[in-house]
Chain A
Amino acid sequence: MKTKSVKSHARMPFLTGVVFVAPALLLFSVFILYPLATALSYSFFSWKGTLQGSFIGLENYEAVFTRKPFDEALPNAFSHNLLLFAGAMVFQNTVGLLLAMALHKIGRLKRLFQTMFAMPYLVSPLVVGYLWSLLLSPLFGPVNAILKAVGLEELALPWLGDPTTAIWAIVFITAWQWIGFPMLLYGAALGGIPEEITEAADIDGATGFKKFRSITFPLLLPALGTVSILTFIGAMEAFPIPYAVGGSTGSPAGATDVMALLFYRTAFESGDVGSIGTSSALAMLLFLFIFGVAVALRLALSRGEKRLYG
């Protein structure tokens, strides 16, 4: 089979290959490669409006750490992205995993439940953000109406209007939307655990928690890795939900600001003459951070898997 396919591969004429690949390569180059390379170069130059000035090395990068308003806005926005990642991870790996375990071997209703739990994941995050901003409204919002109805009046707060609770509301909304995905991934991983292993553990007298720790957990690890990486990327790129809830300025008082919003404001709303340079530097920093951590997580994961399975 192998030698045969190698022989046939060699037969595809180079020119045919080029013709077939050309449209995709053209689109990819013009709309992905060229913009990435250009954004990188933008970040090393000084700018006056849309007029490119001289090469200034890393000055734009220095500016986004030290100059106003970045010196405060950058750590503020970045901390919210991290919080979003941490919150979503906790929610997904407790509630999501619990749901997957409850669904495991449940029989006929499984598909129905999976469909119901995964539904929010498909809805536009912008719609989700706007929907929750209405649901959590202190005036006519149903959430506070329910809280009052069940006697939890002290919890009927203006969740999105208060700077201390607004970011937590966004963490919850995001986790609520995402949970279907880890639930499905963990479900698939649980389904892949061979029956013999759990049976062998039963015979050896392993109890609930011990069984989970030494059998289920190691076999869930690849799924946990995938969930971590995708949650990380999603949390760092968060944009539509914070935009819907707090607008482009991250109101109230920057309490819901995130990196993508900061980038958007710098690039399109700041009115600063050097904004092309500073926003490109911001984009590249975020780009490097997301890509770097995603690759590092992937490597750590495959190393961990190797250690577990030899």
Chain B
Amino acid sequence: MRKRLNVMAIPKHTLLWLYALVSLSPLSIMVLNSFRTMKEMAREPLAMPENFNFTSYEKAWVTASFETYFFNSMFVTITSVFIGTSVSLLAAYVFARSKRKIFALMEGLFLSGLLLPVFLAILPIFYLFDALGLISNLWGLILVYSALSIPFSSFILAAFFRQLPIDLEEAARIDGAGYFRTFFSILLPLVRPAIATVIVFRFVPIWNDFFYPLMLMRDRAVYTLPVGLTRFFGEYQTDWATLFAGLTIATIPLVILFVVASKQLISGLTAGMSK
């Protein structure tokens, strides 16, 4: 047994490093080529940058409006995650602590949102926004993303609330604290780990989403990064260095998030398995 393991170790490590190359080289090429000039790329499609040239970043950021797209994306993502998490926290608390049928029914309703391809119901949202003047308004996007966050967030948070012992809350209530006080000063600090998971897991899809802003944001000033990218790819077709720089800008916040929260991400992705 021992012996076989050692013999197997060499092909095993070769496989792992080979796939690491397959997995990471496209992303590395994206970053490296953003520092190269078009001339360099035409001469030699695959090479290290001759010198680290930031002009394409400047071009993407300023001339191609990535500054606007970036801050729109940040604003929309952070605000949506904040609203979505807050409303889910309040609802999850009720789902975990009330035994009334109506709330159990509601929880089931929210949960079904996890399996439903709700994005297909975009047309009524479009006409609703049209009537309310919310087309090309970042707050419209924020409301949709907040709502879309509810199924996942309330599911994770309710599961966490259920694991908390009820004694603490009872003690607080005996001391005269109301439900709101108990919720904010006793429970919120306790559910922090679950809140972190929810924030990380909602940040990624909202930051990356392309479908809703493509249909609902119809003015360059309110484009988020993904929609901005589609326009940008049409206009800068031949300017590869700037294209690579734009792709890198759209990816950097996620890489930072991944490095900071890789533990939450990896354990969260497999959480469904440990039932």
Contacts and interface: CB of A to CB of B under 8 A. Distances in A.
* Chain A interface size, under 10 / 10 to 19 / 20 to 34 / 35 or more: 35 or more
B219 to A, nearest CB: 16
A303 to B, nearest CB: 17
Given A12-B98, A290-B117, A189 B240 contact: no
Given A28-B150, A126-B210, A145-B46, A237 B125 contact: no
Nearest to A198: B1
B78 interface: no
A54 interface: no
A27 B87 contact: yes
Contact of B208 (A9, A30, A125): A125
Interface stretch (B54-62, B64-72, B107-115, B189-197): B107-115
Which secondary structure characterizes the binding site on chain B?
Answer: helix
A246 interface: no
A28 B147 contact: yes
Contacts of B75: none
Interface string B237-274: 00010011001001100110110001001100110111
A140 B119 contact: no
A31 B210 contact: no
Q: Which of A192, A279, A287 has the most chain B CB within a 10 Å cutoff?
A: A287
B215 A187 contact: no
B269 A181 contact: yes
Contacts of A146: 46
A25 interface: yes
Contacts of A113: 16, 20
A245 to B, nearest CB: 11
B199 interface: no
Given A102-B16, A120-B23, A223-B273, A115 B266 contact: yes
B239 to A, nearest CB: 11
Interface string B19-34: 1101110110110000
Contact of B45 (A145, A180, A290): A145
Contacts of A260: 211
A240 B230 CA distance: 10
Which secondary structure characterizes the binding site on chain A?
Answer: helix
Nearest to A116: B20
A134 B257 CA distance: 26
B125 A131 contact: no
A175 B19 CA distance: 13
Nearest to A98: B15
B188 interface: no
A258 interface: no
Interface in A132-177: 132, 134-135, 140-142, 144-146, 176
Interface stretch (A15-23, A66-74, A82-90): A15-23
A299 interface: no
B97 interface: yes
A13 B180 CA distance: 12
Interface of B: 1, 12, 15-16, 19-20, 22-24, 26-27, 29-30, 41-42, 45-46, 86-88, 90-91, 93-94, 97-100, 103, 106, 109-110, 113, 115-125, 127-128, 143-144, 146-148, 150, 154, 166, 169-170, 179, 183, 204, 207-208, 210-211, 214-215, 225-226, 229-230, 233, 240, 243-244, 247, 250-251, 254-255, 257-258, 262, 265-266, 269-270, 272-274
Given A27-B150, A31-B148, A279-B123, 18 more contacts: A17-B100, A24-B150, A28-B150, A30-B128, A31-B144, A35-B123, A36-B116, A38-B124, A120-B27, A123-B251, A124-B208, A124-B254, A135-B26, A176-B26, A179-B23, A276-B123, A284-B120, A291-B115
